[in-house]
Structure 1
Amino acid sequence: MMNLPKFRPTTIAGGGMFALTLIVLGMIACKPELTKDDLFKSLSQAIVVQGLIGLCVASYFTRRSADSSKQEPDE
C-alpha cells in the first residue's frame, strides 16, 4: 500500500482556496465577458480576496500565536 503524506487540515483548506482562486482567475482569462456580470464580479472578488489575502493573513497570525504558546517561559 502507498504511504500517502499526512496533511494538516489547514494545509488542505489553504490548497483548496488557492485552487478555487486559480479557477476563478482562469475563468476570467478564458472568458473576459464574465467580468461584465455584476454577480460574477462580486463572487469572484469575494473568492479571490478571501482565498489570497484572508486565508494567508489568518494562517500567518494563527501560526505565530501557536508557536509562541508552545515555547516555555524562561525561568
Structure 2
Amino acid sequence: MSKIAVDEDECRARQEAHWLVREFGAEAPLYAAMKAEKAIEQKDFGRCARWKRVLEILADTPAAELRRSVAGK
C-alpha cells in the first residue's frame, strides 16, 4: 500500500468519525462498532479495518474536540 493510499484511508476514517459525532453524538462509537461488525459479516476486511480506525479515533479524541472540528467546517 502506498503512502498516498494510507493518507487517504486515514483522512476517510477521520471524516467518518466526524460525521458520526455530528449525527449521533455520544453514540458515535456504537454506530462505528456496528459498521465494523457488518463489514466482518460481509468479509470486507478492508472496510472493517477502516471502521476499527474510526473507533480508535473516537476513543483517542475527546468528543468536544471532534464536535469543535466539525463545527468549524
In the superposition, the TM-score normalised over structure 1's length comes to 0.35
In the superposition, the TM-score normalised over structure 2's length comes to 0.36
Q: Which has the higher helix share?
A: 2
Larger Rg: 1
